[in-house]
Structure 1
Amino acid sequence: MSVKAVVFDIGNVLIEWQPERYYDRVIGEERRRAMFSEVDLHGMNDLVDQGHHFTDTIYDWAEKYPEWRDEIRMWHDKWIELAAPEIPHSIRLQRALRAKGVPVFALTNFGVQNFDYATTVYPFLNEFDKQYVSGRMQTVKPHVPIYEMVEADCGLPPEALLFTDDRLENIETARARGWQTHHFTGPQGWADRLLQEGLLTVEEAL
């Protein structure tokens, strides 16, 4: 079946998401490695993605590790610096698809409050036809329910959806449900896939 809608992940597809890089710059790689070995920061972030409150979750986590309190709070206080920079070519592809009248959805593991904050910094996050944000939905990729909710809401058959994500486990669940998929390793490969599908011309995919 031909593609009727294109579904973008956000982290590492439209916005770089490399928290370790931020901490390496601010506290040094050695201290960062020590902190990440002692503190499950990605587990903390998973709670936010599941719908737990952004501020409360991170500040409560910080109190569990007083020796790292200030550094953990940076995940909240400097969050927009962790979620940076944007990936310009991917944004151009998003906008080119919409300009062609192709529905474009976001399907992202993202908290409620920090997603709302991100939309004030990155205008393209407001430009999706539909936003499927895990924190709002209270279920996350790669678990099946979030994909089921997308299908039910958009009204399109799975095979009509073309989904890109940087994480293979997220792609694999979608593929198992019949979605068309693309493992995102960089915007040029994604542009090439959109060309292959006939969704964009060479000029539009630049």
Structure 2
Amino acid sequence: MAKQTPPTLPPGPRRTLSEELHALHRRAGWPSLRDLVDGLGNGVASRSRIGDVFAHPRLPAWGLLELLVAELARRARRPDPAAEVDRFHALWEAAAEASDEPDSPMPWQVDVGQRRFTTLGVYLQGHFNALEKKIEEAEMLIAHSGGNTRYIDKVELNRRHDALGKAKLMATFVRRELESIIHDGDQVMLQRLSETTFRKFESAVDDLLWNSS
């Protein structure tokens, strides 16, 4: 089983879609990302792309979501997988329409009175905490696999520890940068952090999860 961490989202159609997807994933028995890659078929979608559908705040493409919902509905033994796909398409349409509204705030924006201010820092902190939790879970899996030397060789175990060390080092760096930038109130640097260093941190965690699963 591999429960996925949902994104931090404000109330609305996008969060409803995310909550329903995670509920379907639970009913399907929490198949791992690797299991879903195999279930969708060779070359259909990578592990990281499927992971983004569960964990990224942006609205996923309907084509991939449709295939993922059908596969989860099959695993959950839903009586009518096609009806489940139709239900999710309605949820996706509502989320897409809401995101297309010109006055609709982004997930990290909040309206207060006549002005809108950004809270990107709050969003990044929530996302950072979710990624840090994934590192902790992976560390537990690696520690467990280290005790089963019959099923894993030393080279593989060292590779997993290297991925863990890289992810933990990136976490320390990102935490320090995030706290410093938020303290200084530097919006430009915060945006730059979200688009560069934070992406590298996400990639390091994704590599860790792939190596430890």
Could you tell me the TM-score, scaled by structure 2's length?
Answer: 0.30
Structure with more contact order per residue of length (Cα contacts < 8 Å, sep ≥ 6):
1
Greater percentage in strand? 1
Could you tell me the TM-score, scaled by structure 1's length?
Answer: 0.31
Bigger CA radius of gyration: 2
Greater percentage in helix? 2
